Amino acid sequence: MDINCIGIESKRDGFRKYLESTGMTEKLTTALMKLYQEEERPVDAVGYVKNFLSPGDSENCITPEKFEALQAEVEKVTKERDRLTLDLAEAKGSIKKSASEIDLALTNLFRDFDEDESGKSMLKEYLTEELFLKLKGLRTDLRGYLLDNIQSGLTHYDQEIGIFASDQYAYVTFGELFNQVLEDLHNVETPEADEVEGEDSELPKPIAQPDVDWGDAEELNDLDPEGLFIKSISISVSRSFHGIPFMPTIPLNKLKEIAENLNKILVTITDEEFQGKYFDLAEIDKEMKEKWIQEGILFPNPDDKYLKAAETYRFWPLQRGMFLNDKENFRVWVNEEEHLKITAFEDGSNLREVFKRLVKSLEYFNDLKFARDERWGFVTHNLKNIGNTLQITVKAKIPKLSLPENSEQLDAFATGNDIAFKDLGLGLLELTSKKRMGITEIETAKAFQKGIAEMITAEKCLYA
């Protein structure tokens, strides 16, 4: 026999004796026999043998059964955490301050606000001490205090406006403040008495928001038929329900009433163009929620410091939700910043078709009564949204016009056409219509169409 074979055999025999003397052979044999006798073979055979060999460590070994039990426990704890989070949101939102506490808080906040010289908001410009003293003791018909309307502006001095309406009647109760701010914000002027001709002329009447007029959608077109610049388009309107407070002062039962009533309307739609599903914000899967937020389909997380200070997120996420149609080109946001925000959207640039879809969808809401002011039109929590409330937004790839050396031209284009823009980087701009006060819905759409056409022309010229 080869000497090498003798050496290997000797090592094997020695190792075999070692296993026998330490009891390993008996243990392994018994373990394998137990595994063989199992009617249902475990998925993790190695784990099974390991547990048998070291019963003292079995608690540290994760079997499939133990993993499922742990997973179930995690789900149970997660559900309980979510329930407690909702309970906390309800409890925090239900806290009420007494009239004296509100007066003290308002007085202290205004004192610091008035002494500060850094603020440039419209609230800072128009809320004089004299006007503050005149308004501080007033309440709206829906019991809104001055503090409910200006607490965001008194907390954060670095914002443009500084006011978020507590309810529809705030526009009247605090009209001496609101009117000045709104005239400035929406570039609407009231003629002075001496500008009215004739001695017998009546006192000048403020410019009022015209009646709703969606006009003829055929007057609109595809903003970018070649598909070179416009990537997506959305058109929305915001609405507040008549007689129901806005977010800073709304009670939970009214939030629930809005959500339930809208849900009943939306889920019974039979038109295939709008059929879809209502999603309760508190129940949307976390991954799906983040996906929709990134895509702009779902409203963003409640982290805007101005809205937070205004108590817009009261009771969040309770009774908030979204309806999304199956085609994913129509949605309704419920109880986000406003009671209701209805949006038609799609990839591409066909203003006419998206406009028609939005107008058609509004037929489902004809029986609802919305808050409307004789002068300011549809009134909302956010003072920017009033008037016809129509907002058109496109995402446009215009790399030349968005270059730093062309910033003045871009600013002039935006200002001249009442369009706000946000630079998203890499030549992509988000362009949004601003003019919605003093003009009809169709006029807003036509003005935006004209402005985008000018922008595209300017971009093309930069390539010449």
Q: What is the CATH number of the domain that holds 352?
A: 3.30.590.10
Report d(CA 71, CA 268) in Å as an integer. Answer: 37
To the question of whether residue 416 is assigned a binding role by annotation, the answer is yes
Q: Are 390 and 437 in the same domain?
A: yes
Report d(CA 144, CA 38) in Å as an integer. Answer: 72
Q: Are 235 and 289 in the same domain?
A: yes
User: What is the pTM (predicted TM-score) of this model?
Assistant: 0.81
To the question of whether residue 394 is assigned a binding role by annotation, the answer is yes
To the question of whether residue 415 is assigned a binding role by annotation, the answer is yes
To the question of whether residue 418 is assigned a binding role by annotation, the answer is yes
Selected residue with higher pLDDT from 129 and 35: 129
Q: Are 230 and 293 in the same domain?
A: yes
Q: Are 395 and 323 in the same domain?
A: yes
Peptide bond before residue 225 is cis, with ω within 30 degrees of 0: no
Tell me the CA distances in angstroms from 236 to 121, 331, 391, one per residue in order. Answer: 27, 9, 5
**Residues for the chain: how many in total?**
464
To the question of whether residue 234 is assigned a binding role by annotation, the answer is yes
Q: Are 112 and 223 in the same domain?
A: no
In a domain, 171, yes or no: yes
pLDDT band at 38 (very low <50, low <70, confident <90, very high): confident
Q: Are 228 and 147 in the same domain?
A: no
Say which amino acid occupies 464: A
Q: Yes or no: say if 331 and 321 are a contact pair by the CB < 8 Å rule.
A: no
Q: What is the pLDDT of residue 10?
A: 74
In a domain, 333, yes or no: yes
Report d(CA 189, CA 206) in Å as an integer. Answer: 7
Q: Are 329 and 268 in the same domain?
A: yes
Tell me the CA distances in angstroms from 75 to 85, 282, 284, 288, one per residue in order. Answer: 15, 16, 15, 18
Q: Which of 195, 226, 245 is the last residue of a domain?
A: 195
Q: Are 113 and 46 in the same domain?
A: no
Selected residue with higher pLDDT from 427 and 175: 175
Q: What is the pLDDT of residue 199?
A: 47
Instruction: With CA atoms as reference, report the closest residue to 186 among 342, 373, 389.
Output: 389
List, for residues 188-228, the tens digit of each pLDDT value: 876 554 444 444 445 555 678 999 999 999 999 999 999 99
Q: Which of 12, 37, 60 is the last residue of a domain?
A: 60
Q: Are 180 and 47 in the same domain?
A: no
Say which amino acid occupies 434: K
Share of residues in the chain with pLDDT > 70 (%): 88
In a domain, 115, yes or no: yes
- The mean-pLDDT minimum among 201-215, 231-245, 253-267, 287-301 falls in 201-215
Q: Which of 142, 164, 195 is the last residue of a domain?
A: 195
* Residue tagged 């163009």 (tokens): 273
To the question of whether residue 423 is assigned a binding role by annotation, the answer is no
List, for residues 302-323, the tens digit of each pLDDT value: 999 999 999 999 999 999 999 9
In a domain, 449, yes or no: yes
List the structure tokens of 10: 């000797």
- Quote the mean pLDDT of the chain: 89
Counted domains in the chain? 3
Q: Where are the beta strands (DSSP E) in 188-229?
A: none
Q: Are 178 and 222 in the same domain?
A: no
In a domain, 368, yes or no: yes
Q: Are 300 and 413 in the same domain?
A: yes
List, for residues 412-438, the tens digit of each pLDDT value: 989 999 999 999 998 899 999 999 999
Q: How many CA atoms lie within 13 A of 277 on its CB side?
A: 7
In a domain, 296, yes or no: yes
pLDDT band at 5 (very low <50, low <70, confident <90, very high): low
List, for residues 348-371, the tens digit of each pLDDT value: 999 999 999 999 999 999 999 999
List the structure tokens of 1: 């026999």
List, for residues 82-105, the tens digit of each pLDDT value: 666 666 666 666 667 788 899 999
Q: What is the pLDDT of residue 43?
A: 76
- In angstroms, the first-to-last Cα distance of the chain is 92
To the question of whether residue 238 is assigned a binding role by annotation, the answer is no
Q: What is the pLDDT of residue 202?
A: 55
In a domain, 211, yes or no: no
pLDDT band at 70 (very low <50, low <70, confident <90, very high): confident
Q: Are 179 and 109 in the same domain?
A: yes
To the question of whether residue 414 is assigned a binding role by annotation, the answer is yes
To the question of whether residue 407 is assigned a binding role by annotation, the answer is no
List, for residues 249-286, the tens digit of each pLDDT value: 999 999 999 999 999 999 999 999 999 999 999 999 99
Q: What is the pLDDT of residue 17?
A: 80
In a domain, 68, yes or no: no
Q: Yes or no: say if 433 and 404 are a contact pair by the CB < 8 Å rule.
A: no
Q: Which domain holds residue 244?
A: 217-461
